[in-house]
Chains A and B, each alone.
Chain A
C-alpha cells in the first residue's frame, strides 16, 4: 500500500481547485498554476524513484483499502510512470508557455482550472487499474479538452469543437458498451482480475470469442483518442483551433493516453487469452489474442503513415502540417506494436516492439510539443502561420528557427537527437521480425517526414521574407520555453541510456501479465 501513487492525482486536482478560487487575482492564479505544475513534476519524480526502488516495480494503492478486485486499484508501474514523466515535463512547460501566450482575459476565463483538470484526467487514466475507472478519467480529460479546444470560440473553433466533442461523445457511448459487455462476459472490471480470468477461461466460464469482439470494439475508442486512421478526422481541425499550448498537450500527451490504453489493455490484459484458430487461413492450434490484433494494428499504422504523411505535404499552413504530421507519427508508434503483437508471446521481439513504441512516444511527445510551441510563438509574433505570410524567419528569428529545426530533425530521426533512437528501434523491430512490410512502411513514412519538414523549412524559414514577417519579434520567453524542449531533446539523445533503461523496464512491465496480476491481487500489499 503506497500513498505516493495518488500524489500526482491529488496535486493536479488541488491545483485545479486553487486556480479556480484565485480566478480574480490574475498574477497570483498564474503563480499558483505554475507552482502546481512544479509540485506535480516533483511528485512524479518521487513516484518514479519509489517505483524504481521497489524490487517488483509495482506500487499499488487500493482506494479506501478495499482489496482488489472489489475496490478500485491505482497501479503505478514502470509503464505508467514513464507516461507520467512525459506528462509532467510537457505540462509544466505548457503552463509556462500559456502564462505568456494566453491573453489576460483568456486567463480569467478559467483557463488554468480546466488545464489542470485535464492533467488530472490524464494522470488518472495512466494510473487506474480498473476499466470503468478508465472510462471516468477519460471523461474528465475529454470534458476539459472540449472546452480548451473551443477556447477562442470563433467560427472555426466552434466548428472544430463540435466535431471533436460529438465524435468523442459517441466514442464514450461505444466505450461504455464495450465495458458493459466485458463485465458481463468476464465478470470483473479490474484489469488484473480480468487478465487472470482470461488466462483460465474454463475455470471462470469466460466466453473468449465474445471477449475478442468486445476488445475489438474497445480498440476503436482508443484509436479515436489517439487519432489513428481511420478515426483521425477530428485531429487537424481540433489541433488548429486549440491555443498552441493546448495543441501541444493534445498532440504530446492526450494522444499518448490512447496509446497507453492500447499497450496496457492489449499487451497486459487481453494478451493473457488465446483462442482456437478461427482465422480461416489454415494453421491449427491456439491463436493468441494479440496475433489477431497484429494485422489490425498494422493496417491502422499503414493508414496513419500514408494519410498523415501525404496530408502534411499538402498543407499550406504550419499548424495544419503539424496536425497531419502527428497523425503520421502515431503510425510510427503503432507500427512496432503491430510487429510486437504478431510475434509469439515469449519472443524478445515483442518487448523490443513495445520499447520502440514507448521511446517513439516520448520522443514524439517532446518534439511535437516543441513544434506547436514554435508555431504558437510565430502566431504571436507574425499573427499568422500560413506559409504564404511566412518566409525568412531563419534570418529574423535565429533562435526560434533553430529550435524548430531541432524538433523537426528529432522527428525525422537524425543522431544524436532522441528521435534517432526512436526511429532506429522501430526499424530494428521490423528487421528482427523479418517483416518486409513493416520495414517498407517505416521507410516510406520516414521519407514523407523528411519531405514535409523540408517543405515547412524552405517555405517558412528560408525563402524571401513575407510582408508580415518584416519587423516582427517573437516573445523571448515563449522562444525560451521552446528552447528548453530543444535542449531536452538533445540531452535525451546524447544521454540515451537512462531513458532506454526505463523504456525497457516499462515494456517488460507491459508484457509481464503475471507480475501485474500478482502485484494487484496479491493480498495485503
Chain B
C-alpha cells in the first residue's frame, strides 16, 4: 500500500517539477529543479525498500533481526540533500545575478536578447 501511494506521490512530484522547469520565470525553474531533485531523494528512499524495522539491532525492537530497513539509502539521501542545499542556494544567487545583469528573469526575454546579439554578431547558432 505504502509502495503504491509513494509511487503516485513520486509521479506527481516529478510532473510538478517538470511543469515548473518548463515555465518562463527563472525562479519557477529553480523551484522545479529543486522539486525534481527532492523527488529523486524520495525515490532513493523508496528504492531501499520500506519494509523492516529501524536499522539498530538488539534494543528490544520487535521483529526478526534480519528484517531491518537498509540504512545505506538514508546515508545516500542525506548526502544528496546537502548537495541539493548548496546547488539550490547557488541557483538562487545566480537568478538574482541574472536579474541584475538583464533586468528580467523571463527566459523568453533572455533568449530574445541572445538572438539579437547573435544577429549583430552575424552568428548562425542558437
Contact = CB atoms under 8 A, between A and B. Distances in A.
B44 A155 contact: no
A158 B101 contact: yes
Contact of B102 (A159, A174, A176, A183): A159
A143 B44 contact: no
Given A143-B87, A153-B97, A158-B94, A176 B37 contact: yes
B64 to A, nearest CB: 19
A181 interface: yes
Interface residues of B, number: 38
Nearest to A187: B70
A384 to B, nearest CB: 11
A136 B33 contact: no
B37 A169 contact: yes
Interface stretch (B1-9, B55-63, B116-124): B116-124
Interface string A106-143: 00000000000000000000000000100110010001
Contact of B41 (A162, A176, A315): A176
Residue in A147, A155, A189, A314 with the greatest tally of chain B CB atoms within 10 Å: A155
A110 to B, nearest CB: 14
- Majority SS at the chain A contact face: helix
A236 B125 contact: yes
B4 to A, nearest CB: 17
B40 A177 contact: yes
Nearest to A317: B121
B76 interface: yes
Contact of A176 (B40, B48, B110): B40
A158 B40 contact: no
Nearest to B110: A159
A180 B73 contact: yes
A180 B90 contact: no
B47 A181 contact: yes
Interface string A349-364: 0000000000000000
B90 A143 contact: yes
Contacts of B87: 139, 143, 165, 169, 172
Nearest to A161: B94
Contact of B37 (A158, A162, A172, A386): A172
A460 B105 CA distance: 37
A162 B83 contact: no
A31 interface: no
A442 to B, nearest CB: 24
A56 interface: no
B12 interface: no
Interface in A405-425: none
A184 interface: yes
Contact of B90 (A146, A155, A315, A324): A146
Contacts of A66: none
B41 A150 contact: no
A315 B125 contact: yes
B125 to A, nearest CB: 6
Contacts of B16: none
A30 to B, nearest CB: 26
A173 B20 CA distance: 15
A311 B47 contact: no
A170 interface: yes
B86 A143 contact: yes
B47 A165 contact: no
A320 interface: yes
8 contacts: A139-B87, A143-B87, A162-B26, A162-B98, A176-B41, A180-B73, A317-B121, A317-B123
